[in-house]
């Protein structure tokens, strides 16, 4: 059997999604819970490998159970998993999926959003990046429009040791900056994302909002050109404000 799950989680206390040796991860917790319910013959995979500290509202995962005799109803599996998982991870949907369904390989796109707070926020501190200086949101919106389309994002990613030689060209379906109360929200959808790509794009948008770089400089970076005067790695936004919002199939 194959089950498709939709999860939400607070990534604050996890070393990301992907299972790691000697580290607490979301996939590791889900694998542990699945193994307790079905035995060790399960395969757990997710649609997006969120980094340490990154959250999710709509992560999608599958659980493939090799022993057909252990079949349970999706609603019971959701309840049992939620009982076994820590409070910071919740299964919000569960359904039977085709045997060949794969949460990552079958995904058409992923959508992330990033929350930037324009004031000190006591209750949402764990889920935002507070920028104390005034931001030119219109300039950030113009910059977000430039991100849409096919670009070489080599200047906005870090080398991924698990995927050496990964192509750096990505097609971005949509990118926009909006305002929600005291939050400036950057939302982006693409087929896939490179390691730290969204956080570095967010940091670049903030630099534009602060008037520290120009739209022409962003255009050059999106063309893959290197500018020794710009230290993009140091602009990487903190993980706390980033959410995997949804996965489209």
Q: Tell me the catalytic residues.
A: 51
Q: Give SS3 for 113.
A: strand
Quote the CA–CA distance of 157 and 193 in Å, as a whole number: 9
Cβ pair 117, 131 in contact under 8 A: yes
What are the residue ranges of helices labelled H in the chain?
Answer: 26-38, 74-84, 137-147, 197-209, 215-222
Distances (CA, A) of 93 to 82, 104, 162: 11, 17, 30
Distances (CA, A) of 65 to 2, 10, 61: 6, 26, 13
Quote the CA–CA distance of 168 and 35 in Å, as a whole number: 36
């Amino acid at each position: 059997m194959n089950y498709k799950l939709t999860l939400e989680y607070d990534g604050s206390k996890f070393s990301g999604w992907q299972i790691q040796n000697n580290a607490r991860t979301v996939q590791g917790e889900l694998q542990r819970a699945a193994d307790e319910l079905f035995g060790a013959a399960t395969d757990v995979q997710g649609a997006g490998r969120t980094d340490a500290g990154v959250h999710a509202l709509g992560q999608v995962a599958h659980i493939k159970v090799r022993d057909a005799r252990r079949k349970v109803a999706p609603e019971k599996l959701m309840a049992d998993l939620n009982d076994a998982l820590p409070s910071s991870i919740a299964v919000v949907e569960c359904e039977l999926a085709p045997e060949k369904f794969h949460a990552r390989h079958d995904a058409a796109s992923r959508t992330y959003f990033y929350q930037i707070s324009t004031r000190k926020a006591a209750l949402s501190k764990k889920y935002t990046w507070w920028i104390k200086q005034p931001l030119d949101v219109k300039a950030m919106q113009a910059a977000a429009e430039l991100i849409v389309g096919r670009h070489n994002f080599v200047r906005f990613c870090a080398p991924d040791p698990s995927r050496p030689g990964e192509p750096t060209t990505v097609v971005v379906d949509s990118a926009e900056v909006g305002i929600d109360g005291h939050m400036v929200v950057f939302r982006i959808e693409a087929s896939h994302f490179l390691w730290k790509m969204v956080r570095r794009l967010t940091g670049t948008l903030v630099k534009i909002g602060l008037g520290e770089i120009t739209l022409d400089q962003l255009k050059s970076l999106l063309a893959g050109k290197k500018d020794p005067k710009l230290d993009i790695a140091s602009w990487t936004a903190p993980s706390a404000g980033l959410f995997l919002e949804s996965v489209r199939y």
